[in-house]
Amino acid sequence: MRIELESDAVQRLEAAKWTPAESFSEVVRRAQYPAAPHTARELLEDFAARAGHSPLSEAALDRLAEVQQHPRATPSHWTER
């Protein structure tokens, strides 16, 4: 199998090696990748669980979820209507 990487990616892998003998495969295997991006609601619910309260109302959370699902559906206040 052959995999091509751009030079900046190779430099990052080289920098991540623990020893000169460590292979790129070993570096990639121990790397940690986030499972999935979090929604605003998930982040704020986590905040509420830790702090004991949410900084936003349920209506605001619902609006954030709507905008995240359909980001182009709502006109920006920066554009002319």
The amino acid occupying position 13 is: L
More confident residue, 27 or 76: 27
Could you give the CA distance from residue 39 to residue 43 in angstroms, rounded to a whole number? 6
Q: pLDDT tens across 64-80, in order?
A: 778 877 766 556 666 65
Q: Six-digit token pair at 41?
A: 């609601």
What percentage of residues in the chain have a pLDDT greater than 70?
85
In this predicted structure, which of 12-21, 48-57, 69-78 has the lowest mean pLDDT?
69-78
Could you give the CA distance from residue 29 to residue 23 in angstroms, rounded to a whole number? 10
Tell me what pLDDT residue 46 has.
84
Tell me what pLDDT residue 65 has.
79
